[in-house]
Amino acid sequence: MTARNNLIFMIEYIKGEIIELSPAHVVVETGGIGYFINITLPVYSQLTGKSNSKLYIYEAIREDAHLLYGFITTTERELFLHLLSVSGVGASTARMIMSSLSVAEIRDIILSGNAAALKSVKGIGLKTAERIIVDLKSKMLKIETEEGGGAQLFAAGNTVKNEAVSALEMLGFNRQASQKAVDKILQNEPSSKVEQVIKLALKMI
């Protein structure tokens, strides 16, 4: 087990071959075991086009499920854990925030007290946004925001639409509403990449 900031991780990271990849999850095989790992859009962007990955892991152990969340850097994982420490913010909400905004944007929004910007994330009300800012403001001073450039996303036409709709469904949105939002975005911006489409759709649904 590995300790980080008084937290203990049974699995520090998983490194192996990418068997399956979507905007919401990746299956990584190592030692003959395939791990289903939930990811954010920035992680998806970094993994696209790669055959292997190394993801730092957070395990969410509940009575009804044992879920894994993967991050490219320990900083991303640290931010995710900070968000989870806020009352009313669960793993799904934290992933939504980190799929809608970059680590640097989240840090700057919290430090500047910009509740309106946080409230723009789907599922975040004003009270929750204000609570996040109050609870995490001092912790954001320790968050490093140097971010590597994301990999280019290689997809077009129906592939972009299908992946975007699928990701939105995995994030808990209605399929019909997701399709409507994605269609509208691609009609206005047909050259959009998957990650861009999903981020825009998150603000529309």
d(CA 173, CA 170) in angstroms, rounded, equals 7
- pLDDT confidence of 147, banded at 50, 70, 90? very low
pLDDT at 148: 41
Lowest-confidence range among 7-16, 59-68, 86-95, 143-152?
A: 143-152
Q: What is the pLDDT of residues 36-80, one digit of tens each?
A: 999 999 999 899 999 999 999 999 888 888 899 999 999 999 999
Q: Is the pLDDT of residue 4 over 60?
A: no
Give residue 165's Cα distance to chain centre: 16
Average pLDDT over residues 106-123: 90
Can you tell me whether residue 51 is helix, strand or coil? Answer: coil
Confidence of residue 149 (pLDDT cuts 50, 70, 90): very low
Domains and CATH numbers, the chain: 2-71 (2.40.50.140), 74-140 (1.10.150.20), 158-204 (1.10.8.10)
Three-state SS letters, 90-126 = CHHHHHHHHHHCCHHHHHHHHHHCCHHHHHCCCCCCH
Residue 158: pLDDT over 70: no
pLDDT given for residue 155 in this prediction: 34
What's the whole-number average pLDDT of the chain?
A: 85
